[in-house]
Amino acid sequence: MSILCLVLVLMLSSASSTSCCTEHESNCLLQFLEGLSQDGGLSMSWRLGTDCCSWEGITCSSTVSKVAMVTDVLLASKKLKGSISPALGRLPGLLRLNLSHNSLSGGLPSEIMSSGSIIILDVSFNSLGRILPPSPPLTTGLKLPLQVLNISSNKFSTELPSLDAMVHLVTLNASNNSFNGQIPTDFCTNSPSLAVLELSYNQFSGRIPPGLGNCSRLRVLNAGHNSLRGILPDELFNATSLECLSFPNNNLQGTLEGENVIKLGKLATLDLRENNFSGNIPESIGQLNRLEKLHLNNNKMYGSIPSTLSNCTSLITINLGSNNFSGELVNVNFSNLPTLKTLDLRLNNFTGEIPESIYTCSNLTALRLSTNKFHGQLSKGLSNLKSLSFLSLTNNNLTNITNALQILRSSSSLTTLLIGRNFMNERIPDDDSIDGFEDLQVLSLSGCSLSGKIPRWLSKLSSLEMLKLKRNQLTGPIPDWISSLNFLFYLDVSNNNLTGEIPTALVQMPMLRPEKSAVQVQWHPRAFQLPIYRLTSLRQYRKANALPTMLNLGNNKFTGLIPPEIGQLKGLLELNLSANKLYGDIPQSICNLTNLLTLDLSSNKLTGTIPAALKNLNFLTRFNISYNDLEGPIPTEGQLSTFTDSSFIADAAACMLLPSVCLGLMVMG
Ligand SMILES: *[C@@H]1O[C@H](CO)[C@@H](O)[C@H](O)[C@H]1NC(C)=O
Ligand SMILES: *[C@@H]1O[C@H](CO)[C@@H](O)[C@H](O)[C@H]1NC(C)=O
Ligand SMILES: *[C@@H]1O[C@H](CO)[C@@H](O)[C@H](O)[C@H]1NC(C)=O
Ligand SMILES: *[C@@H]1O[C@H](CO)[C@@H](O)[C@H](O)[C@H]1NC(C)=O
Ligand SMILES: *[C@@H]1O[C@H](CO)[C@@H](O)[C@H](O)[C@H]1NC(C)=O
Ligand SMILES: *[C@@H]1O[C@H](CO)[C@@H](O)[C@H](O)[C@H]1NC(C)=O
Ligand SMILES: *[C@@H]1O[C@H](CO)[C@@H](O)[C@H](O)[C@H]1NC(C)=O
Ligand SMILES: *[C@@H]1O[C@H](CO)[C@@H](O)[C@H](O)[C@H]1NC(C)=O
Ligand SMILES: *[C@@H]1O[C@H](CO)[C@@H](O)[C@H](O)[C@H]1NC(C)=O
Ligand SMILES: *[C@@H]1O[C@H](CO)[C@@H](O)[C@H](O)[C@H]1NC(C)=O
Ligand SMILES: *[C@@H]1O[C@H](CO)[C@@H](O)[C@H](O)[C@H]1NC(C)=O
Ligand SMILES: *[C@@H]1O[C@H](CO)[C@@H](O)[C@H](O)[C@H]1NC(C)=O
């Protein structure tokens, strides 16, 4: 005991609650402090000669005897930097060590990993690496009391060592490191209590060890985002306590066998997305009546969905997208699934009508049936889905857009509506009875060959951020009310038959203006319920503000000059005015759009010289002004030097010299 403590104890004589830590413990803690290069203010209370039980982050046992023991060192999120001293492993009564969310580096000392007292060790969210020390081999007869080991989100980068002596281990979280090699085979031979094994976001390779089937208490097994291959071994399904079986984003293959699945009656999460699984969904899936989340998307599975899926009455999320499932969905009685919130079946081969029973799932917030072969008209039942926020029916064979809009307008929670590539060759309704859509932020009606004018009811969608009307047969001008859509930052009306001049209203669109206007400051887009895709890229977008601000008027019949005011749209990242009948000069002001990534003015009747100041457009990755009647030298400075001549010219002479010029449309920088 330190002198001071002795004095204290003597002074307070038998005032029973007072207790002090030993000098040995103080020393261990001070050694830890010494190893830190930044102590987050710990040294204010961690002072030699004071009772370490009163130090910040330290708890001692409330003892019967006069001498307490340090039981807890809880220093999460204290902005600590430096290395972890082995001395912490010598605190004889330490039960809980929590150093998570700091910036500690160096190794995790084996004295701590092999502590004879620690039961909870959390060093997650640091920069520890590289080698995780193995626990003492079984032959030493040592049995460590450790129950919880959280080493996740660090920089460990070797194989996961043997943890043989951790016979009481219940939870191991090693996710988000760079562990490699095979997953150890014998976890549960030595640690029979293992309940949570989390290995995701590493570089594990090889096969799933059949030995995991011996883990009779295993509830959570997550090894997603690794490089595992092979099949799900039959033995794995002996681990019948499993509630979460999760291997997303690996190279696994094989099929989901009915007699295996049936054994996991407690399963709540089955996540095998982004692998190479094939085969059907087995009928026995219906036995999993606790199943809440089913993710089989992005595999090569096929066949129809078994009707027994309706027996999984706890389902909240179903994602079967990007497979080759087929058949009619009417087999499945969705009215047995009242808790369903997300149903994603995109990119499959489903046929028939959208089953009416889906509309009984009143908590449904996201429904995506895009790129299938559904046909028929939208059902009035859809208006039962009062929570529906995300609806994508893109690329099916639905008919009667008037009917669809009449029904959807009363879905007051809708924020994202993607219904393009349906309703072929119909006429876009333009009557004032179409109102509602108060919360709609994203609307796509692309690729329907719709005729008619840009309808007035769109002007009432005051929350609209993205409007896609490309690839229709719309005629008439862009209406002036466009600038009243305060939040609109993405407008694509390309590939239509629109006429007239480029309206000055476009130049007044608030979201494209340079000033940090009130609307831009207010704008905090929510995440989409499901990530959306732009056809041109495989990228997923989770939030509207991840998409570029853009104006695409390409491939229409616009005439007149490019208004010089266009140079005020400083927020623009993509501008496409190509394939119209625009004439006159390229306004100098375009060179002020210094954030542009894409500029396409090709295939118009523009004349005059190429503005030299285009070289200021430092971020351009796509640029095309070819197929005009421009003259003069081609600017070669700045970013423009990264483009080939075909971005600029396409006259007969150029074609003779460089035949490829006349073939290429857009050239990447
Ligand atoms: C460690 O502390 C952090 C922050 O307080 C907390 O979130 C975490 O749950 C703790 N770890 C354990 C194992 O209790
Ligand atoms: C580390 O894992 C344990 C066990 O799962 C958990 O209780 C603790 O909260 C985790 N730590 C952090 C910082 O999340
Ligand atoms: C493991 O830790 C990571 C953070 O490092 C966390 O996201 C994950 O939820 C944890 N897993 C379990 C099963 O607690
Ligand atoms: C992985 O670790 C990094 C660095 O600590 C952290 O920023 C990131 O959020 C972690 N990822 C997950 C999925 O926990
Ligand atoms: C484990 O699974 C295998 C293969 O499925 C089986 O032969 C064996 O009997 C099972 N063992 C136990 C203890 O259930
Ligand atoms: C599962 O569903 C089928 C048909 O959908 C039904 O005949 C069967 O009784 C159900 N089984 C259970 C266990 O509920
Ligand atoms: C629907 O959601 C609400 C609110 O989240 C919840 O209270 C209710 O229990 C859910 N209904 C069903 C059938 O799950
Ligand atoms: C989709 O299903 C139809 C029969 O319903 C079949 O002829 C076609 O080959 C399938 N398409 C694909 C891509 O599998
Ligand atoms: C689309 O539906 C219409 C009528 O419902 C039908 O005539 C047509 O063949 C369908 N087209 C495709 C590609 O399935
Ligand atoms: C399309 O829907 C409208 C409105 O619901 C309806 O009046 C009309 O009869 C429908 N047209 C066809 C061809 O079914
Ligand atoms: C749109 O323009 C194309 C080509 O110029 C033409 O074939 C088509 O008939 C036009 N459509 C309408 C609705 O004007
Ligand atoms: C470019 O912007 C600057 C500053 O906003 C302005 O002074 C200048 O007139 C603009 N240039 C053109 C050609 O519009």
Closest ligand 2 atom number to CA of residue 173: 2
Indicate whether 42 belongs to any domain: yes
How is the beta sheet containing 103-106 ordered, strand by strand? Answer: 36-38, 81-83, 103-106, 127-128
> In this model, does residue 490 exceed pLDDT 90?
yes
Indicate whether 346 belongs to any domain: no
Q: Look at residue 663 in the predicted model and tell me its pLDDT.
A: 33
Ligand closest to 593 (CA) is 12
Of 72-76, 288-292, 461-465, 490-494, the one with minimum mean pLDDT is: 461-465
Q: Torsion over CA of 569, 574, 575 and 580, rounded to 10 degrees?
A: -160
Of 468-482, 495-509, 529-543, 653-667, the one with minimum mean pLDDT is: 653-667
CA nearest to 321, candidates 554, 531, 610, 550: 531
Indicate whether 378 belongs to any domain: no
Indicate whether 400 belongs to any domain: no
Cα–ligand 3 centroid distance for 199 (angstroms) = 9
Ligand closest to 221 (CA) is 3
Ligand closest to 333 (CA) is 6
**Nearest CA, atom 7, ligand 7:** 363
CB-defined site of ligand 7, < 6 Å? 338-339, 363
Indicate whether 533 belongs to any domain: no
Closest ligand 2 atom number to CA of residue 148: 4
Max Cα-Cα span within the chain: 105
Binding site membership of 371 for ligand 2 (Cβ less than 6 Å): no
Q: Look at residue 233 in the predicted model and tell me its pLDDT.
A: 97
Q: Using only the alpha carbons of the chain, give its radius of gyration.
A: 32
C-alpha count within 13 angstroms, C-beta hemisphere, residue 408: 23
Indicate whether 59 belongs to any domain: yes
Binding site membership of 238 for ligand 10 (Cβ less than 6 Å): no
Long-range contacts of 2-10 (CB under 8 A, 24+ apart): 2/26, 2/49, 2/51, 3/49, 4/49, 4/50, 4/51, 5/51, 8/51, 9/66
**Nearest CA, atom 7, ligand 5:** 235
Binding site membership of 124 for ligand 3 (Cβ less than 6 Å): yes
Of 382-396, 402-416, 459-473, 637-651, the one with minimum mean pLDDT is: 637-651
Q: Look at residue 664 in the predicted model and tell me its pLDDT.
A: 31
Indicate whether 560 belongs to any domain: no
Give the distance, in angstroms, between the CA of residue 550 and the centroid of all CA atoms in the same chain: 23
CB-defined site of ligand 12, < 6 Å? 567, 588-589, 592
Coil vs helix vs strand at 557: coil
CB neighbourhood size of 581 (10 A): 13
Q: Which residue has the higher pLDDT, 642 or 175?
A: 175
**Nearest CA, atom 2, ligand 6:** 308
CB-defined site of ligand 4, < 6 Å? 125, 153, 176, 201
Closest ligand 2 atom number to CA of residue 100: 13
Q: Residue 49 belongs to a domain with what CATH number?
A: 3.80.10.10
Q: Which residues of 199-209 are buried (b: 16+ CB within 10 A; e: fewer)?
A: bbbbebeeebb
Strand partners, 269: 244, 293
Give the tens place of pLDDT for each residue, 164-191.
Answer: 899 999 999 999 999 999 999 888 988 9
Tell me the three-class secondary structure of 561-618, residue by residue.
Answer: CCCHHHHHCCCCCEEECCCCEEEECCCHHHHHCCCCCEEECCCCEEEEECCHHHHHCC
Taking the C-alpha atoms of residue 570 and residue 563, their distance in angstroms, rounded to an integer, is 14
**Nearest CA, atom 6, ligand 7:** 363
Mean pLDDT (the chain) is 89
pLDDT category at 65 given cuts 50, 70, 90 is: low
Ligand closest to 585 (CA) is 12
Parent domain of 66: 15-102+116-133
Q: Which pairing describes strands 667-668 and 622-624: parallel, antiparallel, or unpaired?
A: antiparallel
Ligand closest to 172 (CA) is 2
Binding site membership of 475 for ligand 11 (Cβ less than 6 Å): yes
Binding site membership of 148 for ligand 1 (Cβ less than 6 Å): yes
Taking the C-alpha atoms of residue 469 and residue 417, their distance in angstroms, rounded to an integer, is 12
Cα–ligand 7 centroid distance for 580 (angstroms) = 52
CA nearest to 581, candidates 466, 470, 497, 491: 497
Q: Which residue has the higher pLDDT, 189 or 357?
A: 357
Q: Percentage of residues in the chain with pLDDT exceeding 70?
A: 90
**Nearest CA, atom 13, ligand 2:** 100
Binding site membership of 435 for ligand 5 (Cβ less than 6 Å): no
Closest ligand 1 atom number to CA of residue 148: 13
Indicate whether 531 belongs to any domain: no
Domain count of the chain? 1
- Strands (DSSP E) along 200-274, which ranges? 203-206, 220-222, 227-230, 244-246, 251-254, 269-271
Coil vs helix vs strand at 418: strand
Q: Look at residue 585 in the predicted model and tell me its pLDDT.
A: 94
Taking the C-alpha atoms of residue 159 and residue 183, their distance in angstroms, rounded to an integer, is 8
Taking the C-alpha atoms of residue 249 and residue 322, their distance in angstroms, rounded to an integer, is 14
Mutation test residue for ligand 2: of 148, 177, 244, the one with most atoms within 8 Å of CB: 148
